[in-house]
Amino acid sequence: MEEQGRDTESGPRWQHQWQAIAAKRRIDELQAIGALHKGFRRRNDAEGYIPALSRKSGGKRAAETTIDFAVPSSLTSRDRQGGGRRIPHFDITNISARGAPTKNGQPPRGCAIADSKISGHVDYLHDGAKVTFQSHIDYIRRQTDRERPWETCDIDMVDEPHMRARLNELSIYSNIEGGIERQRSLFEAAGRIEPKPKTFELLSSTADLAELSELAQDLDTSHFIHEMLDKLERTKAEAERRAARKGKPPKAFEAVIASGSSEQVYDWLTGLDETPEIRAKVDWKAGRAGRIQIRFVAEFPLGLTDIERFRIMKLFCDSLAADGMMVVGAIHSPDQTNDKRNYHLHVDAYDRPAVWLANHRCWDFEYAERKNGKTVYPIRQKKVRYAEPPAKIWRQRFIDQVELIRAGRPEITQFVHGTYNENGIELTPLEHMGSRAISLEGRGIVTDIGSRNAERIWNDEKSAAERRVKQKLKREIGQIEAFRPFIKHDADAVAASKRYLELCHEKTARELQEELIDIEIRVARSRAETVIQTLTRRIHWTGPKGLAGVA
């Protein structure tokens, strides 16, 4: 057959070839980056680098921090949404007052809560927005695509400090006067005065039920432990019934096995210390508490100027301030480890109007007096309230402000309201990955959230390929059907049109096979390519005398 003489390296064409080609690609990638990756790990080990994991980013067990190039990566430079319209990333996180279950003011062993460092997030905003000499050089390099911009007229080293100072002015905005120290003090005061949690919950994973039950039988356990396991068993059974009704496999999750007051949970945790094997599989979570900070993270469309990004930040912060909030906004630009499109806005907000009392050296909501034997706060202002869920209001507000500054320019992507489905964007929404998960994934370390997002990304690519092929086939069939009335009396023409339709179906099926195979190859290469890109960005480069950086 003709296919026998075909060069298979030029690209797959048949379904049965993809497994062998993908396997060969995987081996090639492992060989290509193996030595480089080992050197990278040795250098980090020598520097004492140990990747820290959170539950969200990497799971509980350090043993799971492995690099498996067979697992697809969720970090891809391909724009998923594409086109001229985009649903922007807009994330809202509520930070509440923290506290541990206590009795007589003492927490259980191993349950002490360190300072929440909420005020430290203001430092993160300022540090990320500050334009240093090095980051300014990186900025010029991104804008001009020149490796050594100081050797051209792209940057004048005499004017550079003034240019950098101007960028710094456009990167921070706040309605809290007094600078970073005063801004930090507001969130510290909010952490002191907002109500601490009054109730707490005990949690355990449904995946540990069998092991916990076995431990409870072997050990002399209390009645409370058996009640706790009974509730875990009922919760797991109900989850399995719900999954069966939907035709989906059940998934393990953290279930609430007990809840109570601070003193009750203290006693339970102290009692569990007598059975350390069971205590190791039981966690606790604080209940509802006062909100001390709202954090916003939003992306900017590519193509805006520094002044335009500042105007959007000012509009959004001013709108929150008009509601009564105290805000600190910062624009973070991409550094040498980020995609050059990664300009984004951070805003920290406290949803209570506040005034600094210079005479008392405190905020008005913290100023207290004794009245009739009670401590009162006579000038504390009420928290901001909305008539409808505020998250929708904030998101719509930000998109409208971006569109106001975009002013209909077609070269800048339009931000739209609503969902993917409402806007005809056939994509599965992704879970937000924090900086730690992104950092781990960039080094090739598999994380739970990264794997879930990768599955959605690549499944969406396959679905998009199927839709494109079906639409193409539909157009070709429509053209033939349009001529059917004119040839219905010509037997040869009818037979020819029928054969043409058969060939169209076969051709589109082959095209779909080819595109799906190409996607599978990109899937197989994705983690290796992510690691290569990450390592490439860390290669050391040398600039003028005394200047060094990272490419």
User: What is the distance between the alpha carbons of residues 480 and 486, in angstroms, rounded to a whole number?
Assistant: 11
- CB–CB of 314/169 below 8 Å? no
Give me the residue spans of the domains in the chain. Answer: 12-78+434-540, 85-97+114-130+171-195+290-415, 199-286
Pairing of strands 414-415, 374-376: unpaired
Backbone angles phi, psi at 295, to 5 degrees: -110, 130
The model carries a pTM of 0.65
Size of the chain in residues: 551
User: What is the distance between the alpha carbons of residues 358 and 311, in angstroms, rounded to a whole number?
Assistant: 31
User: What is the distance between the alpha carbons of residues 380 and 382, in angstroms, rounded to a whole number?
Assistant: 7
Backbone angles phi, psi at 169, to 5 degrees: -65, -30
Q: What is the pLDDT of residues 434-479, one digit of tens each?
A: 777 877 888 888 888 888 888 888 887 788 778 778 877 887 788 7
Burial bucket for residue 453 (CB in 10 Å: 0-12, 13-18, 19+): buried
Q: What is the number of alpha carbons within 13 Å of residue 244 lying toward its C-beta?
A: 6
- CB–CB of 332/346 below 8 Å? yes
Proportion of the chain in helix, strand, coil states, percent, rounded to 5: 50, 15, 35
3-state per-residue secondary structure call for 223-259:
HHHHHHHHHHHHHHHHHHHHHHHCCCCCCCCEEEEEE
User: What is the distance between the alpha carbons of residues 511 and 513, in angstroms, rounded to a whole number?
Assistant: 5
| Amino acid in position 255 | A
CB contact set of 136 (below 8 Å; sequence gap of 6+)? 160, 163, 164, 167
Tokens of 234: 């009922």
Backbone angles phi, psi at 544, to 5 degrees: -60, 170
**pLDDT, position 23:** 57
Pick the CATH number of 85-97+114-130+171-195+290-415 from 3.50.50.60, 3.30.930.30, 3.40.1210.10, 3.40.50.720: 3.30.930.30
90: left (phi over 0), alpha (psi -120 to 50) or beta: beta
Backbone angles phi, psi at 356, to 5 degrees: -80, 125
Tell me the average confidence (pLDDT) per consecutive run of 10 residues in the chain, 551 residues long: 41 51 54 43 39 39 57 73 76 89 83 66 83 52 49 48 67 93 94 92 91 81 84 92 88 90 90 87 90 94 89 97 96 63 88 96 95 92 94 96 93 84 73 76 83 84 79 79 76 80 83 82 83 63 40 37
Helices and strands of the chain, counted as H and E runs:
15, 16
